Amino acid sequence: MKVRKSDSDIAQAIFTVNRHAKTAPDNQYLYSLKKEALMKMILQNRAKKIGLHFSKNPRKSQQQSSVLVQCGEYYFHMLPKKEDFEQLDHLGHLDESYRNPPSRMNLKAAKEILSELTGLQPEKKTQPVPTVAKSYTPRQTDRFYTPKKSYFD
C-alpha cells in the first residue's frame, strides 16, 4: 500500500530535483520527473497555475513566457501550453527578490518520492562493451637492412 506523501514533501522533492537538474550533466530524467510531478499535482488540484512570467533566459533571444506554478510553499516554472496563454493572466517580469524556502532533502530521497508519485523510472544505462586497445609493436628490422627494392621505394 502506498503512503500518500504530503504536498509539502512533494514540493520539497520537486525543488530538490529542480535544483540538481540545473547543474547535472545528464538532466533529462530529472526535468521529466519535475514536469510529470507538477502535472500530476495540478490534475489532482494539489498545485495550481498562478500565471505567466517572462522567461529570464529566452531561447534564441526572443521573448518567451513560462507558467508559474504554486505547489505547497514552493513556486516553480514550467513550459506553457497553448491554452495557458488564453486562461492565465500575464504577471510581467519575474520578481528577483523572492526565493523559495530552503530545503534539506537529499536527491536520492527526492527522486524516490517523485518516481513513486509519477511512476517514472530512470533509463537503465547499458555499459558499452570495452574495446580492446590494439597496442603497437614495431616490426623487427635489422639496423642496416631495409626490405626496399630500390632507393626510391
In the chain, where are the structural domains located?
7-118
pLDDT of 56 reads 79
Q: What nine digits make up the cell of 114? A: 517523485
Cell 639496423 locates to 143
pLDDT of 97 reads 85
pLDDT of 57 reads 73
pLDDT of 1 reads 47
Which string of b and e fits 112-135 if b means at least 16 CB within 10 Å?
Answer: ebbbebbebeeeeeeeeeeeeeee
Helices marked H in 7-137 — which ranges?
A: 7-21, 28-43, 82-87, 107-118
- The yes-or-no verdict on residue 2 having pLDDT over 70 is no
d(CA 89, CA 132): 60
